[in-house]
Chains A and B, each alone.
Chain A
Amino acid sequence: MCSVNEVDFDGAEQYMEKKSYLLTGDACKKCNKRKAEVVLKFRDAYCRECFLAAATHKFRASLGKSKIVRPKDHVLVAFSGSQPSTAMLHLVHAGLNEAGHKRLLFTCSVVYIDEGAILELSPCDRNNICTSVVQHVKKLSLPLYITTLDRSLGDSDNSCYSYDDITNNIDDNKEEQLKKLITSVQSLTGKTDLLHKLRNQLLRKIAKKLKCSKIFSADTAHHLAVKLLSNVALGRGAQLPLDIGFCDTRDPDVMLVRPMRDFMKKEVVFYNIFNKLESVFVPSLGTKMNPHASIQKLTETFVTDLQEDFPATVSTIFRTGDKLSIGSSTAEDECCVLCQVPMDTTTRASSAVQATEFSRMISVLGPLGFDSHSVGTLSNDISEHSDVGQTVLKSHKDKSDNGVKYNNASALTPTRKNISACRENEEGCQCSRSSNSITLPEAEASFCYGCRLIVREMVCISRFFKKTVLAYGVLCLSVPDLYVDSDNTIKPVPDIIWINWKLACTGKLSCCQE
């Protein structure tokens, strides 16, 4: 057929036509008196006063409408130094100092997470950034806490501290661990995704420590539209309502709220200009990279470019997210260990997960190693239809331990046998697989679809990661204790050796010295 998909046509095309507006006069659209200073949505001109009033109203309305934030709440405001978080901090501060009944009644603390370690910034640069953050927040006389990203790993007790010279608070050892973890992920896409998950985890930890029940995150509409689209591309469709919605409830004790979600990028920038607010520039993983460096970066460029020609792009994408809900398909209360969302990997007979696993399996087994009968046959009767799926699924399900929802019909099944076989045959191969260590597919089973993609990229899995994950007390990754040396002998793995995980799983164990 033609490349244009026929299912889409019921109109709707007309919404995407390029429009141009002609602005006449220079009076504010709202008050019709003062001189307009900013044009929104390509056609609405506002004066400074009306614009600021509308922005404040927008912020307060988003909080008021939802009724999620209660008067006695203690709120943790996540401050990253960026334009949106600068604006949000200002809005919160203004709300807290409002007179009379308009005053916001909650109390708040501000947190800044220093991510200098993974950005390879010098201690001096990091200190400078922190100093500007401190100065910025001091002006508003709100309590500020500064912490470092490495504290998201393990169960460190003092997860944040009040401002001080940052260099005094850097734990070199832990930072090294963090760096290793991030660099073990191959692509920038995976790194960015992992960083995001770690950051959110740390925010929740700090909130709990400071006894905050809400976190304010300064995601704007533009930001969320990009996040929605990139999360779809990262296989995180099931979690969209949590990642994009007004309120992220994955942790019942600490909710992450996004009060800036109705703001456009331009509104934030002009809010800051009119209030003479300066943001703090903090580089991120993708800074100065080309647009094709990662999925997140590419999506951002794509949305920004499209928004230019089709001004409704951001709001349309964003509204799509509003119409979604978290699925009720998860029967058990299992959550991903990295991002704490309900698992989305239950395999149905016909699904992308199953199809990928099937591809992976037959690509390794080949025509000779695969029993084609295991796929099943076509049924004669409609009533049998649903059963067919079941049998297929069953035949694909390995004898996996119960509770493991991973479809084990993967390439890993035979090789797992290989590894254990080798262990039985080889004498003196001190294979001490303790009963609580688990294999790769089982380990992967603890991650949601999206996090699994990150984990699979970790070609080099450090022993540290094993420890870290152990520290969570949730799971232990089985980095094999043995490896095949170049002279084909099996040796125990020294601590500093990184295992090539992928190869380890296909039975061709190899290693590389650090």
Chain B
Amino acid sequence: MVVDCSAGCGRKAVLKRPKTGDALCKECFFWAFETEIHNTIIGGALFKHGDLVAVAASGGKDSTVLAYVLKLLNKRHNYGLKLMLLSVDEGITGYRDDSLETVKQNRDEYEMPLKILSYEELYGWTMDAIVKQIGRKNNCTFCGVFRRQALDRGAALLGANCVATGHNADDLAETVLMNILRGDIARLQRCTDIVTGSEGAIPRCKPLKYTYEKEIVMYAYFKRLHYFSTECVFAPNAYRGHARTFLKDLEKIRPTAIMDIIHSGESLSVREGVPLPERGTCSQCGFVSSQKLCKACVLLEGLNRGLPRLGISKTSKVNRAIAESNRGNPRISGDF
């Protein structure tokens, strides 16, 4: 069955938009996709004229599309932004080394400067080495925590005003569900914010917040963008996998469910009197943390002391373990 483009341009539609159910032709889709991101950027006041924006680039579809669209919109609407690519090399053989090649290709195609930071440089550990220590379980914790800081440090190095990440609507909806499933009220409250980051830290924004993953894939496909699509070689987080499957099933039943979940997340409000963790800074590295020591420092300390499970167990246990080993060998914390 051939359907005409909903925009009434007279061409044949090539896809049905999951968000609204409209059928669009290729040209109208490109235009609509880009204009929506423009609307998100303006509506959320994500950038200021003349900002230096670090685009977090992994070589995957989301960040490739983000870099491409930001460059295009910057020119079309005179944002006056300076765009740079920022990549983190986790040191995962067979995954990151290949995807970094894609990022380098993007650098040349979109003529944006690229900065690569490696875990090895920053922390002295590659993910491969960490996995050797900790095993395949829980290694995502290390990767996720370290990347968060690596991006912050990278952005600071570049002197960027903000970091743009490629989180899409599906990611956000999934995070809302995950935070409910884990009962994490503090994150549930802030996970739908379009700009995150406390004072002092470089803000992060999500220009693709309201863009469906499906449309991102279609956009990249029709535009023939070069991106890298391989799962990480280390086992993905099983519990999140459940949430992801659930979300995809929901989307199958009712495609607007993703936006509906984001709307729910945005309109939640926390009851007064519910204790929320205080956000302070890490006493060791100065990054944002709700504990005395930030997670990255705890994990790193665990690795360096040969107790890799330190940061995986409960916070109370961590504090006890640190206290005990300090008593036993007070010199270590000085070394660290």
Binds A, one of B4-12, B106-114, B326-334: B4-12
Known: A363-B6, A378-B79. A233 touches B260 (CB 8 A): yes
In the bound complex, CA of A323 to CA of B271 (Å): 5
- Asked whether A9 is an interface residue with its Cβ less than 8 Å from the other chain, the reply is yes
Cβ–Cβ contact A362 & B49, under 8 A:
no
Of the residues B20, B174, B311, contact of A360 by C-beta under 8 Å: B20
Distance (whole angstroms) from the CB of A322 to the closest CB of chain B = 8
Of the residues A14, A320, A326, A355, contact of B39 by C-beta under 8 Å: A355
Distance (whole angstroms) from the CB of B52 to the closest CB of chain A = 14
Of the residues A9, A319, A365, contact of B148 by C-beta under 8 Å: A9
In the bound complex, CA of A148 to CA of B244 (Å): 40
- Asked whether A495 is an interface residue with its Cβ less than 8 Å from the other chain, the reply is no
- Asked whether A389 is an interface residue with its Cβ less than 8 Å from the other chain, the reply is yes
Known: A294-B253, A359-B36. A385 touches B45 (CB 8 A): yes
Binds A, one of B115-123, B177-185, B219-227, B300-308: B177-185
In the bound complex, CA of A448 to CA of B154 (Å): 44
Cβ–Cβ contact A11 & B314, under 8 A:
yes
In the bound complex, CA of A328 to CA of B56 (Å): 36
Cβ–Cβ contact A325 & B270, under 8 A:
yes
- Asked whether A15 is an interface residue with its Cβ less than 8 Å from the other chain, the reply is yes
Known: A359-B19, A367-B28. A1 touches B60 (CB 8 A): yes
Distance (whole angstroms) from the CB of A339 to the closest CB of chain B = 14
Known: A1-B60, A5-B171, A367-B7. A323 touches B274 (CB 8 A): yes
Distance (whole angstroms) from the CB of B80 to the closest CB of chain A = 7
Cβ–Cβ contact B314 & A232, under 8 A:
no
- Asked whether A247 is an interface residue with its Cβ less than 8 Å from the other chain, the reply is no
Cβ–Cβ contact B177 & A362, under 8 A:
no
Cβ–Cβ contact B264 & A235, under 8 A:
yes
Task: Write out the residue numbers on chain B whose beta carbons fall within 8 Å of the beta carbon of A376.
Answer: 42
Cβ–Cβ contact B246 & A367, under 8 A:
no
Task: Write out the residue numbers on chain A whose beta carbons fall within 8 Å of the beta carbon of B136.
Answer: none
- Asked whether A352 is an interface residue with its Cβ less than 8 Å from the other chain, the reply is yes
Distance (whole angstroms) from the CB of A350 to the closest CB of chain B = 4
Of the residues B141, B183, B269, contact of A317 by C-beta under 8 Å: B183
Of the residues B32, B144, B178, B264, contact of A236 by C-beta under 8 Å: B264
In the bound complex, CA of A362 to CA of B315 (Å): 49
- Asked whether A340 is an interface residue with its Cβ less than 8 Å from the other chain, the reply is no
Cβ–Cβ contact B42 & A237, under 8 A:
no
Cβ–Cβ contact A359 & B20, under 8 A:
yes
Cβ–Cβ contact A231 & B264, under 8 A:
yes
Residues 231-246 of B, flagged 1 when their CB comes within 8 A of A and 0 if not, give 1100011011010101
Distance (whole angstroms) from the CB of A413 to the closest CB of chain B = 15
Distance (whole angstroms) from the CB of B79 to the closest CB of chain A = 5
Task: Write out the residue numbers on chain B whose beta carbons fall within 8 Å of the beta carbon of A7.
Answer: 148, 175, 187, 191, 196
- Asked whether B290 is an interface residue with its Cβ less than 8 Å from the other chain, the reply is yes
Task: Write out the residue numbers on chain A whose beta carbons fall within 8 Å of the beta carbon of B323.
Answer: none
Question: Which chain B residues in 130-168 approach chain A with CB under 8 Å?
Answer: 138, 140-141, 143-145, 147-148, 165-167
Task: Write out the residue numbers on chain B whose beta carbons fall within 8 Å of the beta carbon of A134.
Answer: none
Cβ–Cβ contact B36 & A362, under 8 A:
yes
Distance (whole angstroms) from the CB of B330 to the closest CB of chain A = 26
Question: Which chain B residues in 191-243 approach chain A with CB under 8 Å?
Answer: 191, 194, 196, 209-210, 231-232, 236-237, 239-240, 242
Question: Which chain A residues in 373-393 approach chain B with CB under 8 Å?
Answer: 375-382, 385-386, 388-389, 392
- Asked whether B38 is an interface residue with its Cβ less than 8 Å from the other chain, the reply is yes
- Asked whether B98 is an interface residue with its Cβ less than 8 Å from the other chain, the reply is no
Task: Write out the residue numbers on chain B whose beta carbons fall within 8 Å of the beta carbon of A5.
Answer: 144, 167, 171, 174-175, 178, 240
In the bound complex, CA of A15 to CA of B32 (Å): 43
Task: Write out the residue numbers on chain B whose beta carbons fall within 8 Å of the beta carbon of A453.
Answer: 256, 260
Residues 305-317 of A, flagged 1 when their CB comes within 8 A of B and 0 if not, give 0100010010011
- Asked whether B254 is an interface residue with its Cβ less than 8 Å from the other chain, the reply is yes
Known: A232-B176, A232-B180, A324-B268. A369 touches B79 (CB 8 A): no
Number of A positions contacting B (CB below 8 A)? 90
The A interface is mostly helix, strand or loop, or mixed, namely helix
Residue of A nearest to B299 (CB): A9
Cβ–Cβ contact A235 & B27, under 8 A:
no
Distance (whole angstroms) from the CB of A48 to the closest CB of chain B = 32
- Asked whether B17 is an interface residue with its Cβ less than 8 Å from the other chain, the reply is yes
Cβ–Cβ contact B144 & A4, under 8 A:
yes
Known: A235-B260, A366-B8. A349 touches B43 (CB 8 A): yes
Question: Which chain A residues in 236-269 approach chain B with CB under 8 Å?
Answer: 236-238, 240-241
- Asked whether A61 is an interface residue with its Cβ less than 8 Å from the other chain, the reply is no
Task: Write out the residue numbers on chain A whose beta carbons fall within 8 Å of the beta carbon of B165.
Answer: 1
Residue of B nearest to A372 (CB): B35
Task: Write out the residue numbers on chain B whose beta carbons fall within 8 Å of the beta carbon of A363.
Answer: 6-7, 17, 20, 22, 24, 28, 32
Of the residues B48, B175, B178, B188, contact of A381 by C-beta under 8 Å: B48
Task: Write out the residue numbers on chain B whose beta carbons fall within 8 Å of the beta carbon of A375.
Answer: 35, 38-39, 42-43
- Asked whether A435 is an interface residue with its Cβ less than 8 Å from the other chain, the reply is no
In the bound complex, CA of A13 to CA of B145 (Å): 13
Cβ–Cβ contact B36 & A366, under 8 A:
no
Distance (whole angstroms) from the CB of A280 to the closest CB of chain B = 30
Cβ–Cβ contact A12 & B264, under 8 A:
no
Known: A237-B264, A292-B253, A324-B268. A316 touches B175 (CB 8 A): no
Question: Which chain A residues in 310-363 approach chain B with CB under 8 Å?
Answer: 310, 313, 316-317, 319-320, 322-329, 344, 349-356, 358-360, 362-363
Task: Write out the residue numbers on chain B whose beta carbons fall within 8 Å of the beta carbon of A380.
Answer: 48-50
Task: Write out the residue numbers on chain A whose beta carbons fall within 8 Å of the beta carbon of B177.
Answer: 229, 232
Task: Write out the residue numbers on chain A whose beta carbons fall within 8 Å of the beta carbon of B267.
Answer: 237-238, 327, 329, 344, 449
Task: Write out the residue numbers on chain A whose beta carbons fall within 8 Å of the beta carbon of B180.
Answer: 228-229, 232, 317, 320
Please name 13 further chain A to chain B contacts, defined as beta carbons within 8 Å, in addition to the given A5-B167, A16-B239, A237-B268, sorted by A numbering: A13-B239, A187-B253, A189-B253, A235-B260, A240-B264, A317-B183, A323-B270, A324-B270, A356-B256, A358-B36, A372-B77, A377-B77, A379-B48
10 interchain residue pairs of minimum CB distance: A237-B264, A366-B7, A235-B260, A355-B210, A350-B44, A363-B22, A238-B267, A325-B271, A9-B144, A352-B263
Q: Which residues of A contact B (CB under 8 A)?
A: 1-16, 187, 189, 228-229, 231-238, 240-241, 292-295, 298-299, 302, 306, 310, 313, 316-317, 319-320, 322-329, 344, 349-356, 358-360, 362-370, 372, 375-382, 385-386, 388-389, 392, 449-450, 453
16 residue pairs bridging A and B, Cβ less than 8 Å apart: A1-B56, A6-B145, A16-B182, A187-B253, A232-B261, A237-B264, A320-B183, A322-B271, A328-B269, A358-B36, A360-B22, A363-B17, A364-B7, A366-B28, A375-B35, A453-B260
